[in-house]
Amino acid sequence: MKPLNIALKRLIFVVAMIILNGCSSSHNNHWSYEGIESPDHWADLNKEFETCQKGDHQSPIDIHNKDALPSAQELMFAYLPTHTHIINNGHSIEFDMDEDNFIAVDNKRYKLKQLHFHADSEHKINGNQFPAEMHLVHEAADGQLAVIALLIEIGETPVYDHIFDKIPKIGEEIKIDLHLESFIPKNKARYSYNGSLTTPPCSENVLWLIFEQHLFVPLKQLQKFKAYYSHNYRPTQENHERHIYFTNH
């Protein structure tokens, strides 16, 4: 009887694992930009990602300047040199912040949490896509997010000559000092609209600020980033008659 009991136990174990794996697949937290886990399938991967498909304030979008309404929005930066942790999170290269850097939008304060990159750009301007896009992610005390998007073109700028010289392996981190104040465009003209995260769960609690002035990053630096992530952008989403605003100060 012992061999039968052992065989029975093995069978029960195998069946249990099949059931467990089946249950796990319906609550998959993993997502990507290609194949069956690409943006078109995010909502099918996990119930918590349903907003990616059902939401009507999704990001990114294609911004047409002829549709932008004038705005008197006030924006203030309080960026200082800061210690950062560079993380390769499997979706992008992320710089997590230590110090209390923040912006204020119409006197509402948002603390800078992290910045990361997408290639190619996620937002488009008048149908034009750019080589890359930087997102500076800020969070208010009430949980609302404000994301500054800086569109990236190829060019020589000393500030970004070494930005991707140190890229950690997935699961590792590198500590560096970053002069955040050098990231602030001199021309603060910008578009703004209410949207979502561009990654799951696609939560619709984001104020987007897309600057008209672009960043210029050396080709060699951008190639270093694209050696890891050459297609980590979500396609543009339907606007659903949302208002786009433009502030010229």
DSSP per-residue codes, 118-184: ESS-SSEETTB--SEEEEEEEE-TTS-EEEEEEEEEE---GGGTTTTS--PPBT-EEEEEEEGGGGS
User: Are 201 and 48 in contact, with CB atoms under 8 Å apart?
Assistant: yes
Residues belonging to the active site: 91
Closest CA to 245 of 205, 208, 197: 208
Residue 209: how many CB atoms within 10 A of its CB?
23
From the list 72, 74, 82, the residue with the least C-alpha distance to 111 is: 82
CA 51 to CA 196: how far, in whole Å?
Answer: 9
CA–CA dist 137, 179 (Å, integer): 16
Tokens of 126: 């008048």
- Rounded distance between C-alpha atoms, residue 58 and residue 196, angstroms: 5
Q: By C-alpha distance, which of 97, 110, 217, 112 is closest to 162?
A: 217
Give the N- to C-terminal CA distance of the chain in Å, as an integer.
84
